[in-house]
């Protein structure tokens, strides 16, 4: 695939899955726009073949998102966003009976409302330009639930519903909207697991290994390059949720 004529915005792309997705598109020639809530480190920016644009704002702040995107589109040489990957999100895990209402609200606000805050203004532009691809990073826990993640599960399930609705609304303007639901992906969290916890988790995964951020990035590139898939959720979990 070649994305040399495409501009890709990846939210939450300073590390982890978001950074891997941004690198995957960069290797295929795309123009990248990185986003994070805090300043992106110079070494991250330097890791790209083409110097990316950067955006810094909290996606949960609707006004901040609107103003940042408005300023981006006003740049004289900016032609628009072809591919949006909504990856930014947070977790605040706790069993349901012990979860603070504020922690439930914050996780839903960032992961679900925040995705809407970024998507709505870009979706409007895509409708006018009559093309576009939106990829929402959901989670396998949005499909199967998980102990201690009632807030995160609810938000990620909501993203799947959002994906289907946007796909129906955007189809006539050739806008494709899909979701990816990663399972257990190698991260700082998995690195800190005890041997017993790691063994238990691996036994629940038919492929008997954790996935990599690159496994998710490969699917994002595939979805962005295909012109006849929309409204779907692709699960990348080694068979955890079958």
Residues marked as catalytic: 152
Beta carbons of 171 and 227 less than 8 angstroms apart:
no
CA triplet 44, 50, 51: central angle to 5 degrees? 55
Which helix (DSSP H) or strand (DSSP E) does residue 234 occupy?
Answer: strand 233-236
DSSP string, 167-227: HHHHGGGTEEEEEEEE-SB-SHHHHT--HHHHHHHHHTSTT-S-B-HHHHHHHHHHHHH-S
Q: Could you tell me which of 111, 58, 119 has the C-alpha nearest to residue 84?
A: 119
Integer angstrom CA distances of residue 182 from 8, 26, 110, 191, 234: 20, 21, 18, 17, 8
What is the Cα gyration radius of the chain? 17
Beta carbons of 60 and 113 less than 8 angstroms apart:
yes
Beta carbons of 233 and 180 less than 8 angstroms apart:
yes
């Amino acid at each position: 695939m070649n994305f040399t004529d495409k501009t890709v915005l990846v939210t939450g792309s300073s590390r982890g899955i978001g950074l891997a997705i941004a690198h995957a598109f960069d290797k295929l020639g795309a123009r990248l726009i990185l986003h994070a809530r805090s300043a992106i480190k110079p070494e991250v920016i330097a890791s790209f073949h083409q110097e990316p644009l950067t955006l810094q704002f909290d996606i949960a702040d609707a006004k901040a998102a609107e103003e940042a995107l408005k300023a981006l589109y006003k740049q004289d040489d900016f032609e628009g966003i072809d591919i949006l990957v909504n990856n930014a999100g947070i977790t605040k895990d706790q069993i349901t009976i012990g979860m603070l209402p504020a922690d439930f609200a914050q996780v839903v606000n960032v992961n679900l409302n925040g995705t809407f805050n970024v998507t709505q203004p870009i979706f409007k532009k895509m409708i006018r330009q009559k093309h576009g691809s939106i990829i929402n990073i959901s989670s396998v826990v949005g499909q199967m639930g998980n102990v201690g993640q009632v807030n995160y599960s609810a938000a990620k399930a909501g993203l799947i519903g959002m994906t289907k609705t946007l796909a129906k609304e955007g189809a006539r303007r050739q806008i494709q909207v899909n979701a990816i639901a990663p399972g257990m992906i190698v991260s700082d969290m998995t690195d800190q697991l005890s041997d017993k916890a790691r063994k238990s988790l691996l036994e629940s995964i038919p492929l008997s290994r954790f996935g990599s951020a690159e496994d998710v990035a490969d699917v994002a590139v595939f979805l962005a390059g295909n012109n006849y898939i929309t409204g779907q959720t692709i699960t990348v979990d080694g068979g955890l949720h079958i």
